[in-house]
Structure 1
Amino acid sequence: MMDNRINLLVIDDDDINIFIIKKIVEKTGYNVNMVSKANGLLAIDHLKATMGQETFPHLILIDINMPVLNGWEFLETYEELNITQRVDMYMLSSSVYENDIEKAKTYAKVKGFISKPLSIERLIELFKLLEQ
C-alpha cells in the first residue's frame, strides 16, 4: 500500500451506520482515508474517477439493500469495469438470510460476508489482510 494509508470505500445508504464505521475506523489506529457513497452508482462513479490513482480503494465494504444500485447490482457493474488493481471487497449487511450469504460467495471479488454491526476487531483483521 502506498504510504501505509488505507483507502476505504463504504457503500451504504444508512447515515448512522456510516457514522459508526467512521468511529470504528478512528479507533483502529490505522491511517485510513474513508470515503462513503450512499448507493452503488455513486460508488461506481467514484471508482471510475480514482482508477489508477493513489486514492483508489484498497478495501470496499458493500451494503446489500440500497436505492438506485444495490450491492448485488454494484458487483455486476464493477465486474464490467475490468479493474485490475487489487481490491478486497466484503458484503456488510444486516441481512440474516442464508441465500444472501451464499450469493456473496458466488462473486470471485467478494472475500466474505460480514454481519452488521462491524466490530473494531473485524475491521483491524481486514486491514491486516491488506498487508499480505
Structure 2
Amino acid sequence: MIVTKSDVSACIIDDDPIYVYGFKKLIKLRGLHSQITSFSNGSQAITWLKNPFNIPNLPDVIFLDVNMPGMDGWEFLQEFAEIKSQLGKKISIYMLSSSINLNDVYRAKNNVDVVDYIFKPISGHQLTELLGMMQETEETKIQKYKS
C-alpha cells in the first residue's frame, strides 16, 4: 500500500483482538488506505507515543477503548494529557465502547482531548465519514502550503 500525504494514520487501542482485526478489515474494505497502528492496552500506546523515534509515525487519530485491563481508556487519557504538548502534533481521540453508561458518555464528552464517544461496533459509514473528513483537512493543509 502506498501512503500519501492525504492518507490518515490511525491508532486503535483495544484489548479485543477480534474487534481490532475487524476494524482494520473495515478500513481496508472501505478503501480508506489508512496506516493503522494497534495496541492492546493504554500502557503500550503511551510507551510507544513517548518514544522519540516514533514521532514521524504518530497517528492523526486514536480510537480508544474505554474498558481494558492494565491501563484503561480513562487512565490513557490522563497520561496523554501529560505528554501531548511534547508530541508536536494534534491527535484526535475518539472513545470507543460497548458501554451505554451515561456517565462514560458524559465523562468522554467533557474531556478536552476526546472528539466524540462512539458506541461499538463502529459502522463503515461512521469510519468513512471520520477518516474522510480528516483526509480532506490534511489535503487542505497541503494545498495551502503549496500556494
Q: So what's the TM-score if we normalise by structure 1?
A: 0.92
Structure with the higher helix share, 1 or 2: 2
Name the residue aligned to 1:57: 59
Q: Which residue of 2 aligns with 1:40?
A: 42
Compute the displacement of 1:128 (Å).
2.1
- Quote the residue 1:13 is aligned against: 15
Say whether residues 1:97 and 2:101 are aligned partners.
Answer: yes
Describe the SS at the equivalent of 2:10. strand
Q: CA deviation at 1:51?
A: 5.0
For 1:129 and 1:76, the matched residues in 2 are separated by 27
Contact 2:65 2:73 in 1 (8 A): yes
SS in 1 for 2:111: coil
Which sections of structure 2, spanning at least 5 residues, go unmatched? 138-147
How many angstroms apart in 2 are the aligned matches of 1:19 and 1:119?
A: 14
Where 1:65 maps in the other structure, the secondary structure is: coil
Unaligned runs of 5+ in 1: none
The aligned counterpart of 2:31 is 29
The amino acid of 2:131's aligned partner reads: F
Q: Does the Cα contact within 8 Å between 2:49 and 2:55 map onto a contact in 1?
A: no
Corresponding position of 2:71: 69
Q: Which amino acid aligns with 2:128?
A: I
What count of residue pairs does the alignment treat as equivalent?
131
From 65, 81, 85, give the equivalent of 1:79: 81
2:128 to 118, 124, 127: 124
What secondary structure does 1:60 align onto? strand
State the Cα distance separating 1:5 from its structure 2 match.
Answer: 2.4
User: Percent same amino acid among aligned pairs?
Assistant: 35
Residue 41 of structure 1 aligns to a residue whose secondary structure is helix
AA of the residue aligned to 2:92: D
Greater Rg over alpha carbons, structure: 2
Q: Residues 66-113 of structure 1: CA distance to partner in whole angstroms, max 9, x if unpaired?
A: 111100000000000023411111001000100000000121110000
RMSD after superposition: 1.6
